[in-house]
Amino acid sequence: MSTDPEGARGAGERAAVRLDGVRILVTGASSGLGRAMARALLEGGATVALASRPGPRLDAAVSALASFGPRVWALGLDVRDDASVARARRWVDRRWGALDVLINNAGLGMRTVNPRFMVEPTPFYAVSPDGFRAVIDTNLTGYFLVARAFVPPMVQAGRGKIINISMNRETMRRRGFVPYGPSRAGAESLSYIMAEDLADTGVTVNLLLPGGAADTGMIPDDTRAELSRPLLAPEIMAAPIRFLASSASDGVTGQRFIATQFPAHPGA
């Protein structure tokens, strides 16, 4: 695997890297990091499918990007549902013929099991089984299901990129962060194993995380004043996601990039 790729060095000077003709699917694109990344990729010239569960939020996200014309698409997708994922794969095959870049971003946050998780942590034994399963099914199993569906044609073509969105490792050991922490730890392990499984196929797998808590709607408004640090703007992901989706990152695989440190080397 590439650990200090030529493409990663000097990536800051490549913030304006072009993505013309690149076909990209972003899951969880109706809000937060997904929506910000979709806009950044469109601004770089890519054709982007905003994938999310159908509804007003997805409609609003696509409408907000209408200025990009035929390069922006809405794709109804529930990453937890095998049948929905299969339909998304057929949609891409029919509309585009192939997918160049898959960005796994769809996720549920801790607020779904404890709205005051940032200031009043709940111990793991107080989390409901349904709440645990919902987060794991979205944040971990969803990454697996979507990648499993879209990787085979990439392998056949001998090219493709998978970018899995993660979070700081402190969330994987922080008090009161079950099930979110385990879901992200699992997704990171999945990513590294995917990279190993795809070695020498031409398909790369990398991780990208903001580098801190981001203003994505996962943190309730009534707890923001109690946070020790300000929230990051979702747009922090723009430069690194364009780099990772572009030919500038060719040959880079099995790496973990932190948006707040970009264009520094992959971080721990």
Does residue 192 carry a catalytic annotation? no
* Distance (Å) of CA 177 to CA 72, 168, 188: 35, 12, 16
Residue 206: φ, ψ to 5°: -135, 160
Report d(CA 93, CA 113) in Å as an integer: 37
CA atoms within 13 A on the CB side of 66: 5
Residue 138 near residue 106 (C-beta atoms within 8 A):
yes
Mean pLDDT of the region 243-256: 97
Of 16-20, 59-63, 64-68, 69-73, the range with the lowest mean pLDDT is 16-20
Structural domains of the chain in order of their starting residue, each with its CATH number: 11-261 (3.40.50.720)
* pLDDT single digits (tens) 130-189: 999 999 999 999 999 999 999 999 999 999 999 999 999 998 999 999 999 999 999 999
Query: In the structure, what pLDDT confidence band is assigned to residue 251 with cuts at 50, 70 and 90?
Result: very high
- Per annotation, catalytic residue among 125, 143, 180, 192: 180
Nearest CA among 225, 209, 199 for reference residue 171: 209
Please give the structure tokens belonging to residue 190: 């999945």
